[in-house]
Structure 1
Amino acid sequence: MEFDIVGPDAISEGSATDAYFDRTETTLRHAGRNPRVVAEITADQFPDGDYELLAGVKDVAALLEGRDVDVDVIPPGRLFDGGPVMRIEGDYLEFARFETSILGFLSHASGVATAALDVRRAAPESLVLSFGARHVHPSIAAMIERSALVAGLDGFSHVAGGEVIGREAGGTMPHALLICFGRGNQEEAWQAFDEAVGPDVPRVALCDTYSDETDEALQAAEALGDRLDSVRLDTTGSRRGDFRHIIREVRWTLDAHDHEDVGIFVSGGLGPADLRELGDVADGFGVGGYVSNADPVDFALDIVELEGEPAAKRGKLTGVKEVYRTADGGHHVGLRGQEGPAEGEPLLRPLLRDGVLVDEIDLGIDAAADRAAADAGRCDYGAET
């Protein structure tokens, strides 16, 4: 039996679409109509102060490359708040059947990236890793991990996802490893791990499987000595109690026994509020469902110009638009051709011209992460929380 996965060929050929686009294409061809249009992809018409982080652009570029269209886009890793994040101009049938996939690429990745930026900003000085691939269909694990890195997270756990995006996954041991050695044999498990894995793998001992976190952390430190990089506390919520107090107690005990260099890494159902609360007592975090289970951004694609004339459905702003980052970190939407705000930075930039990728926007992860960090600071993203 095959997995329930829509493959790359279906996406590239346009069958990964809603049925009504098939009907629309059939009808327009029957009627001999294929107008020149400008379509915009937006989440909100006007700015409302609720910024989100754009991701998924690389996949849209790959999908539309070779089609006879011009595309402008806000570079990935930039914050947006109202107005278009992408503009497509061309004969409508050149891209009509790809709308479903375009919106899916942008909506899901941007939702994940925005959630990842929430946790990044909650603990800006801490190591933060993406641990949420287990909560999603494996076919989209690479999107999850790439979006997390775009937001500035420091690493991720999914091996195949890393192979797709050209980055190496990280991780050490689950509770299952400790359980396989049996109750009371935690030291044997930690030592076996130390002997088995390569020298490039950090020695992070999971220290909450059978007994008190403080006891297991000290046992791990004594068993592995200077080879131990850190301990991980993944205590389930039903046994956690005052997690901050537990972490502080572990830190105290390690320090009291001359293990000041052993870090403390925590995971297990964490979100931004937890990272803000624990950032001064933990050295790093693994965040899972908060990032991977993020709601997609509710993007829509709408025609706003038909054969050079403003055109839009009821409830949408007609006419081609520009978006700007203002000097105070704000977001501004205006009509194309009209004067923008003083010292405003136009955000939409060329991505494709006549279907050819324009070498103007660096679509790489590192470049997007740099933009995200700069924009988050400029716009005070997460400052209120």
Structure 2
Amino acid sequence: MSNPFGTIPDEAILEGTATDAYFDRTRSTLEYAGKNPHVVAEVTADQFPTGSFDVFTGVRDVATLFEGRAVDVDALPDGHLFDGGPVMRIEGPYLEFAELETSLLGFLSQPSGFATAALESRLAAPESTVLSFGARHVHPSIAATVERAALLAGLDGFSHVAAGEILDREAGGTMPHALMFCFGEGNQAEAWETYDEAVAADVPRIALVDTFWDEKSESLLAAETLGDDLDGVRIDTTGSRRGDFRHIIREVRWELDARGYEDVDIFCSGGIGPDSMRELRDVADGFGVGSHITSADSVDFSLDIVEIEGEPISKRGKLSGVKQVYRTAAGGHHVVLADREAPADATALLEPLVRDGELVREFDLDEASERCLADAEAVSFGDQNI
């Protein structure tokens, strides 16, 4: 069976059949009429700056989509933040890209939502280790998309093995409750010892400590069992049984410190999001964040023709004419017609991506992550999410 999980194959995306039916009918109609106008189209979420910023990503996949097609594409840099105006511009004969709109918007909308939520998490606990644990909440075919978005937003790592192979990064993680169950209550020490013996030496020894007994008791047992080899403990207590989670963590910290285990870190997971991270970041050393990232709303991008055969045009509610967007040194985001004067002390953000079907930009995830975090500081992204 060539497609056992029913996912859309790469060929369908590249050929344009991964599209909405009305684009097929549009092509048929225009070809029948002998029309194929030269257009400029822009991708936007909001027409004017709103002051509420999102992270822009997915642009590398869009570049791949347009390779070999007779169009020019400009776009914001990967990882840049925006709050209105175009994030991408496409120019060329309309039928060169008409049926690509559906995939194009999908490549941008969902990853940008993931990255924005991941950035919220990153800035909620800037001094903590923060890992992406959300791949289990999405279709496996897009796990690498989730994990790349998390890394772009500055998270320290992720858990998905196959995504790591795609991204050329090592997946991380500790142990599940299933492992503890397999050894059974009363045999926690044996489980941790066996894990320590079986797993590669470069894997941090983080013991899961909330399976059968209370968190304090299992944490102390883990420390006594593994001694100096124990790097940390992970508390994944179900929300319905947490009570005062902050107090639980402080109690575990106190008891570990009282017995000389000050170097054992405490990691928290299970329904963790920015609000709980801000509450716990002074008592916990790290967090695993899952559903906050994967349940993020997609950014509501749309693609609209704004110029046809050199003349500005738009639907009602949209802004006609080719535009440029700018960032000032003070962090301001400005939308201006492309043939007008730029704001003072401003940098144009729409940069060449594809020229006549040829990719003219390189992509580096580390650079994109640095850009994302620097731009978040420039526009005070963390302040808007507190």
TM-score normalised by structure 2 residue count: 0.98
Q: By how many angstroms is 1:157 displaced?
A: 0.5
Match of 1:301 in 2: 303
Give me the whole-angstrom Cα distance separating, in 2, the residues matched to 1:296 and 1:356: 28
Q: Secondary structure at the match of 2:383?
A: coil
Pairing partner for 2:128 from 126, 129, 138: 126
Match of 2:274 in 1: 272
- Matched residue type, 1:375: D
Q: Over aligned residue pairs, what C-alpha RMSD do you find?
A: 0.8
Q: By how many angstroms is 1:368 displaced?
A: 0.7
Match of 1:22 in 2: 24
Give me the whole-angstrom Cα distance separating, in 2, the residues matched to 1:269 and 1:74: 33
Give me the whole-angstrom Cα distance separating, in 1, the residues matched to 2:182 and 2:33: 67
Q: Secondary structure at the match of 1:183?
A: coil
Give me the whole-angstrom Cα distance separating, in 2, the residues matched to 1:202 and 1:260: 16
Q: By how many angstroms is 1:327 displaced?
A: 2.1
- 1:178-233 Cα distance to aligned partner (Å, 9 max, x none): 01101111111111100000011110000000111011001001100111110000
Give me the whole-angstrom Cα distance separating, in 2, the residues matched to 1:147 and 1:363: 14
Percentage of identical aligned residues? 67
How many residues are paired up?
Answer: 383
Superposed, which structure 2 residues align to 1:94-133 within 5 Å?
A: 94-133=96-135
1:347 aligns with 2:349: yes
Q: By how many angstroms is 1:99 displaced?
A: 0.3
Superposed, which structure 2 residues align to 1:1-385 within 5 Å?
A: 2-359=4-361, 362-384=362-384, 385=386
- 1:291-311 Cα distance to aligned partner (Å, 9 max, x none): 011110000000000011101
- Matched residue type, 1:370: E
- Matched residue type, 2:242: R
- 1:276-303 Cα distance to aligned partner (Å, 9 max, x none): 1111100000000000111100000000
Give me the whole-angstrom Cα distance separating, in 1, the residues matched to 2:6 and 2:270: 29
Structure 2 spans left out of the alignment, 5+ residues: none
Aligned partners of 1:74 and 1:347 also within 8 Å: yes
Give me the whole-angstrom Cα distance separating, in 2, the residues matched to 1:338 and 1:27: 36
Give me the whole-angstrom Cα distance separating, in 1, the residues matched to 2:95 and 2:18: 15
- 1:152-199 Cα distance to aligned partner (Å, 9 max, x none): 111001111111222111111001100110111111111110000001
Aligned partners of 1:324 and 1:333 also within 8 Å: yes
Q: Secondary structure at the match of 1:382?
A: helix
Give me the whole-angstrom Cα distance separating, in 2, the residues matched to 1:72 and 1:48: 22
- 1:101-135 Cα distance to aligned partner (Å, 9 max, x none): 00000000000000000001111111100000000
Structure 1 spans left out of the alignment, 5+ residues: none
- Matched residue type, 2:20: D
- 1:359-385 Cα distance to aligned partner (Å, 9 max, x none): 4xx422111100011001111112141
- Matched residue type, 2:365: I
Give me the whole-angstrom Cα distance separating, in 2, the residues matched to 1:233 and 1:33: 63
Segment drifting more, 209-218 vs 325-334: 325-334
Aligned partners of 1:75 and 1:363 also within 8 Å: no
